[in-house]
Structure 1
Amino acid sequence: MLHVLYLVHDVSDPAVRRRIIMLRAGGARVTLAGFRRTINPVSDVEGLRPIDLGATRDGRFGQRMAAVAKAAVSIGSKLGNMPRPDLIIARNLEMLALARRAKSAFQATVPIVYECLDIHRLVLRDDFLGKALRGTERYLARDVKLLVTSSPAFIANYFKPFGQIAAPVELLENKYFEASAVSPDDLVAAENPVAPPWRIGWFGALRCRRSLELLAEFSRRLDGHFEIILRGRPALSEFPDFHAFVESEPWLSFRGPYRNPEDMAAIYREVHFSWAIDFFEDGQNSQWLLPNRLYEGCRFGAVPISMGNTETGRFLKQQDIGVLLPQATPEALEAAVGKMDEHRFGKLRGRVLARNPRTWSHDRNDCQALVEKLRGLAARPEPLIAEALA
């Protein structure tokens, strides 16, 4: 059984749990190690007890770098009691630095996979800091065996033009994980609530103040004809007044966190539309990403709303589904959906449900294919070893 050491920036991130589920469904054994954004160590992630590398704080770049430097000194002792892994997956740039330290601690050839699912705004700066970070990434990634990323726009707009990674690329979209085969009958049975009011769901990592303010103003303009339901993890570093803001808005409600994939069917069946827009790093990462909520919402028949000039918008145009906005304003959103009726919504939803379910979901076969690719990397000899054996 392939043994993977998974090094992550935040062990409590729901996306980390999803990746662990995929790796184990594909037949891998996983050891989890990483930082946390909680006061106390996390005791359990999908049945695993993470190896705690310390606490970091969201949005505090300097503090995170200091935590990485401290962990680099102690990681050998932290990992000292675990068996040597067959492969290390490093999620994000800071974990790539620790992956190389971990590899040295094992005193053996262990291939490294670099998993990069967001392009941080700091690495795109054209000043000394941005250039230094890109140079650091190129240096740390000089001999990684595989780059895993989630959007073709990340490759086209960052990795290729900046020449960051020479390794092969695995495009692993942020799809919903389907433990069993998707049944067409199951999709048809996914009923939305009676409307009006129409409901827009914004689920997942809630980090975009502009989206929050836009949706709030839109819902006020429509005077209850539309309701906005928020679920997930608000980034209080970006809007510390999040809860007070939501409570002050008559047509917004925050319904807390959820479990993925366990709760996805229930939460998306409460809404008609899914908000697939993010301005958190406008013109950069937000322009390029294909978010989890895109796939999850479509899987359960929620009609996606996106900007036409983004990678998500281009994806939706190819699929001929969704509502695409020409501008990020309450007026544009009102013009697009303000006069929604059941007949039009039925057509929009029907086009979503007509797409091949595998467009939105990973299944166990996908997990097994991923683990098999990783197993191939672990079995491949290093060039110097291969030459010595020749």
Structure 2
Amino acid sequence: MAMIGYLVHDTTDAAVARRVRMFRAAGAAVRLGGFRRRAPPDTVAGVTAVDLGETRDARLLARLAVVLRHVAAPARVGEIVAGADVIVARNLEMLAIAVRVARPRQRIVYECLDIHRLLLSDGAAARALQAIERRLLARVDMVLTSTPAFRDRYFRARRGFTRPIWLEENRLLQIDTPAPTPACPATPAGRPWRIGWFGMLRCRRSLAILAAIARAHPDLVEVTIAGIPAYTEFDDFDRDVAATPGLRFVGRYGAGDLPALYGSVDFAWAIDFFEEGQNSAWLLPNRLYESLAFSAVPIALAGLDTGRWCADHGVGMLLDDLDTDLAPTLATLTSTKLARLRDAVTALPRRLVVADAADCRALTNAVLGTGTST
């Protein structure tokens, strides 16, 4: 049985569990270790998780200090990846550890799903981090990423990375349950239009926009927020939501809650201004695929990659400018128009938004070096 050593930045991240499930569904054994943002889990998707310590969001220097400790004293991490056919390092800091502990010819895959602003900036600190990244990339056999823009505009164009890159979009994983069925009612209920903002909540501007439209048009819009707020990115997330009629925060959720969440809204907010103009412009977020899988209509900006994806596939409510377009578009919306938008979503081929067992095998073969990547 093939063995994958998986080093991750946050063992409590639901996306880590999804990746472990994909590897195991393809028949690979997984050894998992990493840092975490909350209380350490004993297992992740059935795999024992080796805890390397706690780190915090928005504290890059503090995280680097923790990483350096493991680089200087790598024995514990070495036990996780000893005998592995491949080390998969999720995030740049884990790549630094992977390069330190890898055997001379041990395969390394760099899983990159976010690009830190310093990697796209100028200045002494940015240049130093970019130099470190270049040295680490020289040891990488394959990059695993989730959006074509990261592959084409970053790794190929900016970094000149010529080795294989595997694109695995953030599709909803369905390997042991039936494919999702539309969760929204067949006939839209009409106003107020219900918008859902779900997932990693880190965009201050999105909260401000949604709060503003809920205050200004109480009979037009209701907003449900669910997920994990990055409190470091907001002045006072809980206070702002509580103080705004028409906004409600329902807390964290699990994969089993997705049908009910998306079934409770007409639209999914698929816009993220976090690190605006850089990372966020290229992302294709989980909420895009989840909303489409459960037949909620994504709201996206036409000029960003999420909007381009929607335009290419004929789905979504696409806006050129939120300040001038959002309220008028919702004000002129009818139940008939919404039904047409939803029909376009339900007509979308499921393979575009849902990953199955065959996708798990293809990904795992590529990670192990036995598949095809571009």
Shift of 1:376: 3.1
Distance 1:34 1:164 in 2: 29
SS of residue matched to 1:20: helix
Q: Which residue of 2 aligns with 1:35?
A: 35
The answer to whether the aligner puts 1:368 opposite 2:351 as a matched pair is no
The answer to whether the aligner puts 1:133 opposite 2:133 as a matched pair is no
Residues 275-307 of structure 1 deviation map (CA, whole Å, 9 limit, x = unaligned): 000001111111111111000000110001011
Selected match of 2:170 from 165, 169, 174: 174
Deviates more, 1:116-125 or 1:40-49: 40-49
Name the aligned partner's letter for residue 154 of structure 1.
F
SS of residue matched to 1:187: coil
Shift of 1:189: 6.3
Please show how residues 89-128 of structure 1 align to structure 2 within 5 Å: 89-104=88-103, 109-128=105-124
Q: Which residue of 2 aligns with 1:352?
A: 345
Cα 1:266–1:238 change in 2 (3 A) is same
Distance 1:10 1:123 in 2: 20
Distance 1:320 1:313 in 2: 10
Distance 1:96 1:189 in 2: 39
Name the aligned partner's letter for residue 376 of structure 1.
G
SS of residue matched to 2:300: strand
Q: How many residues align?
A: 370
Selected match of 1:203 from 181, 198, 207: 198
Shift of 1:136: 1.0
Q: Which residue of 2 aligns with 1:4?
A: 4
SS of residue matched to 2:315: coil
Shift of 1:181: 7.7
Unmatched segments (≥5 aa) in structure 2? none
Contact residue 275 and residue 304 of structure 1 kept, 8 A: yes
Distance 2:143 2:171 in 1: 18
Distance 2:345 2:14 in 1: 25
Cα 1:57–1:335 change in 2 (3 A) is same
Distance 1:181 1:44 in 2: 21
Q: Which residue of 2 aligns with 1:384?
A: none
Shift of 1:49: 2.4
Distance 1:365 1:306 in 2: 30
Distance 1:145 1:161 in 2: 18
Shift of 1:180: 5.0
Q: Which residue of 1 aligns with 2:292?
A: 298
Deviates more, 1:194-203 or 1:146-155: 194-203
Contact residue 228 and residue 252 of structure 1 kept, 8 A: yes
SS of residue matched to 1:227: strand
Shift of 1:70: 0.8
Distance 2:76 2:218 in 1: 59
Distance 2:14 2:160 in 1: 27
CA RMSD of aligned residues (A): 1.9
SS of residue matched to 1:67: helix
Cα 1:311–1:37 change in 2 (3 A) is same
Q: Which residue of 2 aligns with 1:339?
A: 332
Name the aligned partner's letter for residue 253 of structure 2.
Y
Please show how residues 191-270 of structure 1 align to structure 2 within 5 Å: 191=185, 194-260=189-255, 262-270=256-264
> What TM-score comes out, normalization by structure 2 length?
0.94
Q: Which residue of 2 aligns with 1:387?
A: none
Q: Which residue of 2 aligns with 1:64?
A: 63
Residues 119-149 of structure 1 deviation map (CA, whole Å, 9 limit, x = unaligned): 1111111112222212211111113111111
Q: Which residue of 1 aligns with 2:301?
A: 307
Unmatched segments (≥5 aa) in structure 1? 379-390
Name the aligned partner's letter for residue 64 of structure 2.
M
SS of residue matched to 1:232: strand
Shift of 1:240: 4.6
Name the aligned partner's letter for residue 220 of structure 1.
R
> What TM-score comes out, normalization by structure 1 length?
0.90
SS of residue matched to 2:254: coil
Shift of 1:198: 1.6
Distance 1:279 1:189 in 2: 28
